[in-house]
A and B are shown apart, each in its own frame.
Chain A
Amino acid sequence: MHHIATAILTLAVVATSPANQDDPDLQRTHQRVFRNAIEQATRYTVQIETVGGAIPRGVITDLDIPTLNHDPGDGMPDMEDEDGMPEDEDQPSPFRDTLGSSFVVADGPTTGIIYRSDGYIITSSFNFVRNPTHITVRLSDDRRYVAELVASDKVRKLALLHIDADDLEPAPWVSPDEISTGQWAIALGRGFGGSEPSVTVGVVSAQNRMMGNAVQTDAKLSPANYGGPLIDVHGRVIGLCVPMAQRPGELAGVEFYDAGIGFALPKNRVDAICEELMTGESIYRGWLGIRFSRRADDGLRIVGVANPSPMYDLGIRPGDKIINANGKDVNSAQHLVQSLYMVPAGKPVHIIVRRGDLAFGYEPHLARAIDLGQLVTEPDPDPWKPFPINRSIKWPR
């Protein structure tokens, strides 16, 4: 038995060692395959340039930080209230500080993908954080167009552009069920300028990340290729590269750049989002419109509810506690954010609220920050008023 084992071992070593020494044939094959894929994908990868907009200097105040609930950090028990309301602009926020010092949006070119032959281009909303006044698109054949921003999804970081062309060659996509973890993934970008895309290579690291929205890759993603395609070895699009992190915010995820953690939206997500964006309506962050106690031992006790807001309209009042969101038990604002941060305004979520010894389920539709009213902090005068179960109100009505 032992002899056989040794024999096989020796065989394996002998068989591999010549190749191990200096035969890079396999790597040459990879290079050839990559090259073909890149040449295919170059045709539908476009360069986007923006002019005007906010000055990319100093601290970026991310006004779209949703603070459905703010990240409470590590508990911070000394502070009275958890800020669950849209941020006051002057108020310092933990996100703002960290992002401001570490990341400033640049104004270089960015990347997009031809989505439909009739002039629709998709890209990442990250590329328009500065609200540029003019957008131009340059195709791979060097034709240039002035583009119109049709609408953008600030939650999943997708933006839809339209140019005045009807002879475009749209990108072929990999069907999401064909994607396998570990397959080669090549990210293309036009962020360094020039006439050809830049290339980074990695693998698909995981699927169904970010609440089922994204494919994860270790190909280096950065502002140089956000909005560009992540392709397979046949030159088909696995996903559209976007910055993402398990927290809300337009810039969330950029801190991962070049870190081997990158995300891309696969075809089914992109199609669903684009269908909505085609109407010209942007998709915004969703808010419940509630503020929580910051005391660590309080769980998610509500201390303020905006009136109007989805929660107020359902009868939720200060003093109530949220114990479950979208099927996950939650006992801190951070938990709640992590179970809801991918849900845009207008979409329903499941919330279980506890009042005294009773718990009830609700299905509020999240609101846009702009539709929320003043904060009410008084508890319900009649705390034992029974709630209807599984009530759902489309909001705003």
Chain B
Amino acid sequence: MNLKRAICIALLAPTTLLAGGFNHAIETVGPRCVRLYGLKAGLSAGYGSGTLVSDDGMVVTVMSLLLDSERLRVVTQDGNVYGAKVLTTDANLQLALLKLVPLPRYNLRGERAPDPPSGPGAFKYFPPGDSRKLFPGEWVIAAGNPFKVAEGREHVSVTRGVFSARTDLDAKRKARDFPYQGEVLAIDAITSTPGTPGGPLVDIEGNWVGIIGRLVISNRTHTNFNYAVPVEVVHGFVTRYLDPDSAPDESTTDTGLEPYHGLKLFEMGYQKDLVYVERVKRNSPAKKARIKKDDLIVSLNGRKVGDVDAFRKIIRTKSAGDRIDVTLIRNNKLVNTTLTLEEPR
């Protein structure tokens, strides 16, 4: 009987190899991922995750109501509890940088308990990795505290998936456009869960490649989007705080001004008018690009424009002198041209 069981175990053993390959990454992630607890208000969960980025206890997490808590608590893997000071936030990236600080704790007799280690060298942390080395289909591991499952000294929850694609974030949060529209890493691990955003994403070697982003709904699919903000972007955010002059913020913004293109579009006043060209002004950039009346513009710089609003939104992020690749449908054929924008008139 015993022999039989032993053989069974021996036969099954090789399959544990399969799980074993992730051990290294998971062991790396554990001590570098922290749990956040604080204010629960409205739909805000009252808990979250963060990623240690320096040996003196700097933590990157996502912006949330949690950070407004008077009693924001940060718990490391070994169960030590810290307070946290918000060093800086970036409303565009929706990221926040925290610093762990000792939290005075007293026992019943009013005696102060010894502080857990803090200051330089007290924490394990992630040096910035390189998300550009990731290829779609490669394993990734996300860590965090979804649904507040981990308590006390328990390990944070890890979930395995693959890196799906590098894409720009085109998403909504609570019916509003999400401010950050830059590059993100789409993954097939389910991380769009309360408590997970702010946690680290690592590759199979345990290299840090991103921070799990806030819960959003993708505009392209209208489904919850599982993604991470790439480590390069996060690192830029941290560097801007440490040395404000070093790295300029390169986000593209809607200037509110529409550079001159010379196109009069067909607008009926509906919300979703197709981008049909009604008229092309003389000597205008559009004329030079040989755009004609009745052309249907379908994409700008490779990005689909389904309606006039989308067209204007993209144009407003450009300025005079910028060249835009325009794709249009004319007589049921696709035509490509380049539009060079001019000063608004």
Contact = CB atoms under 8 A, between A and B. Distances in A.
Given A35-B138, A198-B165, A16 B304 contact: no
Contacts of A38: 136-137
Nearest to A108: B220
A215 to B, nearest CB: 18
A257 interface: yes
B165 A197 contact: yes
Contacts of B224: 258
Interface string A181-217: 0000010000111101111110000000000000000
Contacts of A51: 274, 296, 298, 304, 306
Given A106-B220, A108-B219, A200-B188, A22 B13 contact: no
Given A55-B272, A192-B220, A201-B188, A30 B17 contact: no
Most chain B CB within a 10 A radius of its CB, from A27, A107, A136? A27
A167 interface: no
Contact of A8 (B10, B205, B303): B10
A46 interface: no
Interface secondary structure of A, over-half rule: mixed
A328 interface: no
B7 A8 contact: yes
Nearest to A220: B188
Interface secondary structure of B, over-half rule: mixed
Contact of B17 (A26, A57, A198): A26
Size category, A interface:
35 or more
B72 interface: no
Interface in B1-40: 2-3, 5-7, 9-10, 13-14, 16-25, 27
B2 A1 contact: yes
Contact of A30 (B139, B170, B221): B139
B277 interface: no
A95 interface: no
B340 interface: no
A11 B10 contact: yes
Interface string A280-295: 0000000000000000
Interface of B: 2-3, 5-7, 9-10, 13-14, 16-25, 27, 135-139, 161-168, 170, 186, 188, 190, 204-205, 218-224, 226, 271-272, 274, 296, 298-299, 303-304, 306, 327, 329, 332-334
Given A191-B220, A194-B167, A220-B188, 16 more contacts: A5-B6, A20-B20, A30-B139, A37-B137, A49-B304, A51-B274, A105-B222, A106-B221, A144-B327, A146-B332, A194-B166, A199-B162, A200-B188, A220-B190, A224-B164, A258-B224
Which 5 residue pairs of A and B lie closest in terms of their CB atoms, listed nearest first? A108-B220, A198-B165, A27-B21, A34-B137, A200-B188
